[in-house]
Structure 1
Amino acid sequence: MIYETAFVVRPDASEEVVASIKNSLAETFKEFGAEVLVNDSWGVKTFAQPTESGLKKGAYHYFMYKGAGNLNAEIERKFRINEHLVRHMIIKLGEDKHQADIVKEYKNPNHTQAAQVEGDEFGGSDDKDKKMHSKRKSCYFSATKSSPDWKNPKSYSWLVNEFGKISPARITGLTPTFQRRANEAIKRGRNMLLISYQSNETAR
């Protein structure tokens, strides 16, 4: 089975600490015979809203891997006891036979958001397209053959109003399937501090 994990390290953690976390993860992958498919860093981001302890920033790291057995339980155990981690999450992506497509679909959210922001600067066509589909009550994701991705808050923040409420399908025009996917993406994005619980502010 193919999974992804992302974790956020405290902004005051040293390079040695980050290296230690990654080395520990690599050892766990090796111990359980897992194969790393993607290893990426998203850099330091300002959270969509501060943590309970008042932290406002953190460094994001990402892995996609193929593994089985008790691998994820061990990763989760190590993450939970690490005092340098602010947030972490493990998600099942799909079966091994779909590996090529799953890996191909991965995009560093920094690059994706930068492209979308550039598009906004030159006319805001993406946002206009979303609004048009909402007015027509047609599904934006179906029409554009895309999907909300928790890693990229730009792909779903437009579905959240200024008070943090998720717009229902009767407003967005999304199909039930894509509305469920959007709700799940928003839930995961909030867990990872990429979008606020109280507004539609996103991490930057």
Structure 2
Amino acid sequence: MRDLEAGLVDAATGHAIVATDADGVVVVFSRGAEILLGYPCDEVLGSHVARLFDEAELGSVLAAGDLDTDAPARREWTLRGRDGVPVPAEVVVTRRPGVGGVPAGHLFVATDLTERRQAEQLQDELIGKLGHDLRSPLTSVLGYAQLLDDDTLTDEQRGYVNAIERNGRRLLHLINELQTGTGRSRSAWRGRRIRRR
């Protein structure tokens, strides 16, 4: 059974799995943890788990008592690789049960968020560029629409001009929301279509 458990831990190479004893000393360091953090297993076993985490973040977690509950705790943490480079990760922490209900330590399962962070950064840059590139011509369209709106227009023509201005302002509002991240979250805008009015 122990061999099966060890095999399962090592097979999960997409996640870093680290187990500690009650004193925080690392007793399991998976192949996925080696890949993510760059440490060979032998170098980490027997050392304190604190070496793998951002010191300030770990200190705040310990002070808040987030690791002292039986319920799994999920949070985003900054891990520290062997080369010192910070690794953003989503970490699920659970207490390892011991004899007589006394905790035997903790189990940390970490998923690398680097690619997600890079994608979010690219998305932010794209939204910023699109917003900048769209704002100038849209402001010009709104300006010309206001110039067209005078007493010489028929009611039908004035309706067209009002529609141009109304929809232009709506687009400008959407651009402002996307750039500032207010209102709806940016992820809610994915695939959103602008309806015709």
The TM tier, using the shorter chain, reads under 0.3
Greater relative CO, 1 or 2 (CA 8 Å, sep 6+): 1
Between structure 1 and structure 2, the one with the greater Rg is 2
TM-score, structure 2 as length reference: 0.23
TM-score, structure 1 as length reference: 0.23
